[in-house]
Chains A and B, each alone.
Chain A
Amino acid sequence: MVNPLNQAAQFGYRTAFGLFEVPMAGAQRLIGIGRIAWLFLLPNLVIFGLFTFLPIILNFFYATTGSDAILLSQRPYVGAENFASLLSCDNYLDPNSCRRDIFWRAIYNTSWFVVLQVGFMILFSLLTALILNRDIPFRGFFRGVFFYPVLLSPVVVALIWKWILQRYGVLNAGLEGVGLPTVNWLISADWAFFWVIFVSIWAHMGFYTLILLAGLQAIPSDVYEAAEMDGASRWRVFSRITMPLLMPTMVVVLVLSLIRAVQAFDEIFVLTGGGPGTATTLILQYIYETGFASRPQLFGLAAAASILMAVVLLVLTLLQLRATRSQAEG
């Protein structure tokens, strides 16, 4: 069967090939086949250089300079002033006593968020993976059900829940229907924080469920058969076989979700805007607002805050490397 779409795609593919073949063949003659590999690497290395490695260095220049100019040549050197300003607190447990109180609020919010979001998300992901690992019909379908929200954009996720949680939304109508009191969910600070955690678990748990499910399915079935022969109870099988064998996957899931939770921003920003007040402002939102959303744009302060965040992420990444290495060895 001749498919016109297919034909067009093939034509495009050949044309693109022809476009590059002559210059690339010429370059090959010029530099020799031994160095052609560098030519293939070039585009990627240029992008990485411009948008990843160069910015790491520039970040330190921004963090040690002041003013709201974006051009480095127009920024006066201020030394460690940005860091000092972020870290100056009379009492580190009380954000009100800090010079940059919102930064510290964001740090406290982020810490709570990371602990609660990661903790409960792993719990529910594990539970879901265990259930999906049972011998149930339509398993592929159910796997898809829990995975579907992962693909939705953060903005869409936030708007879906905003519509449900609004004052006259379906959740309040349901509560009223069964005689329970209604709440203005996103206006109350504690509830807003709860929903921020809930929504971000809802949106991401499918991904971790999938990884844990893959880990569960990698456990050889003869181990279970042997346990069944010995008449081991279900709880014993779970605590003595499943959990220990799943541990390496659990560690990877834990570190991956920690790294992502530290950088949480999108859904929360759209759902609550960091509010009410600063109740749900997390560290990345602080960086975004300091550097880009508010005037004057305090690039130096934002860069200093992102370097502090980078240190946390670096520690977590090193943990991940150790975890993956021990998993590969074990």
Chain B
Amino acid sequence: MVWSFISRTRGRNRFDLTDWLTWGYLIFGILLMFGPVLWVAMSSFKTDAALSEYPPTFLPLSPQTVMVEGYDEPLPLYEITGGEYEGRTLAQIRRIGLNAQMVDPQAPGERLNVSINDREPAREFSVAWGNYTQLFERFNFMQYFWNSAFITVVATIITVIFNSMAAFALAKYKFRGRTVVFLLIIATLMIPPTINLVPIYLVVNELGIVNSPWGVIWPAVATPTGVFLLRQYMLTIPDDLLDAARMDHASEWRVYWRIVLPLAAPAIAVLVIFSVMWRWNEFLWPLIVLTRSEEFTLQLALNAFQGDLQTSWSGLLAMTVLTLLPITIIFALLQKNITAGIAQSGVK
């Protein structure tokens, strides 16, 4: 059943070479695209001891330890794979050259000598939730999350309002200079902020919003993409609807807010998705504007921790997973809308 579905071919009844290559490529694609993310997710549940194991295991397995009577520290457990004590599980007291001094946890009195080639560390499945809880206890994760969320949400709301206002003016009014303004806005598509870093920094500095989330929000809220996207959509809204409202003495603001905006919801949804993606993932500009660690976004905090040798991978991996989680969830829910929106508008 399943096989006949997978091996379905168009018009031909044989599963030929190109079909094999296609499926080979697709399966390789799944491994290559999801594999690294899955690997990081699995690693983020490993204890520090498991993370430093080489070669690494896929599942979060930890070297087992045991408390043995007469010893103050927990001793590492080993499975004995050969020699006199084959098949037993022993605890190691110390290693002397090529031999290990071991003890049976059940019979702690007797010391046994085992060749180090005859033993394998005993592992147990253990999920290190501590990697995640330490983010909240030691790493100030909530602060960074809040900074990122604040910038993303506020910038997106302002972006939608400002851009839809401009789009409304350009789509629904005839006035002198309309074409010029429209061309001017489209022209900004050709001026990426990366070529203006120094002077934008001066403007932000003069406005006194360096080291403030507003220094990240304000420069980004007027997007040519957003204006263009919304204007094209609003052109399809019939003018009769607007005129009918005006007959009822609705102000222009009411026409915009109560009629045009709700009708432009599909285009606004696309802009919201883009804006959330842009702001949540933004890196270079926040890196320039936000220099105090209390103001860091998640991306900046991740970058700062990875450059800091004091930070262990266990915390970094857990933080990476928590940072990619919101976008992953949004993607899982809205996959169709996102890919359709991007394919139609050709922007990212």
Contacts and interface: CB of A to CB of B under 8 A. Distances in A.
Interface string A142-174: 111111111111111001111110001110010
A161 B6 CA distance: 32
Interface stretch (A85-93, A113-121, A307-315): A307-315
Contacts of A134: 10, 22
Contacts of B198: 58-59, 62, 291, 299, 302-303, 306
A45 B196 contact: no
B244 interface: no
B345 to A, nearest CB: 10
Interface string B320-345: 10011001101100011011001110
Given A33-B252, A43-B165, A163-B39, A288 B284 contact: yes
The SS class assigned to the B binding surface is helix
Interface string A24-38: 110010000111111
B277 A151 contact: yes
Contacts of A176: 55
B196 A59 contact: yes
B107 interface: no
Interface in A238-255: 252
B66 interface: no
Interface stretch (A100-108, A186-194, A206-214): A206-214
Interface stretch (B94-102, B126-134, B181-189): B181-189
Nearest to A169: B56
A309 B254 CA distance: 45
Interface stretch (B69-77, B79-87, B111-119, B200-208): B200-208
A77 interface: no
A160 B169 contact: no
Interface residues of B, number: 96
A160 B40 contact: yes
The SS class assigned to the A binding surface is helix
Given A154-B281, A159-B316, A55 B196 contact: yes
A149 B33 contact: yes
A47 interface: yes
A28 B252 contact: yes
Contact of A142 (B29, B277, B306, B323): B29
Interface in B228-283: 251-254, 256-258, 277, 280-281, 283
Interface in B4-44: 5-6, 8-10, 18, 22, 25-26, 29-30, 32-34, 36-37, 39-40, 43
B192 A263 contact: yes
A177 B25 CA distance: 24
Given A70-B205, A153-B281, A173-B56, A47 B39 contact: no
B212 to A, nearest CB: 15
B339 A210 contact: yes
A21 interface: yes
Contact of B162 (A47, A284, A310): A47
B331 A151 contact: yes
B225 interface: no
Contacts of A210: 339, 342-343
A292 B169 contact: no
Contact of B327 (A151, A173, A309, A310): A151
B142 interface: no
B329 to A, nearest CB: 11
B257 A288 contact: no
A53 B196 CA distance: 10
A252 B284 contact: no
A72 interface: yes
A52 B303 contact: no
B109 interface: no
9 contacts: A28-B252, A34-B175, A48-B184, A70-B205, A148-B37, A155-B303, A168-B54, A291-B198, A306-B198
Interface of A: 16-17, 20-21, 24-25, 28, 33-38, 40-41, 43-45, 47-48, 50-59, 61-62, 70-72, 127-128, 131, 134-137, 140, 142-156, 159-164, 168-170, 173, 176-177, 202, 206-207, 210-211, 213-214, 234, 252, 256, 259, 263, 265-266, 270, 273, 284, 287-288, 291-292, 299, 302-303, 306-307, 309-310, 313-314, 317
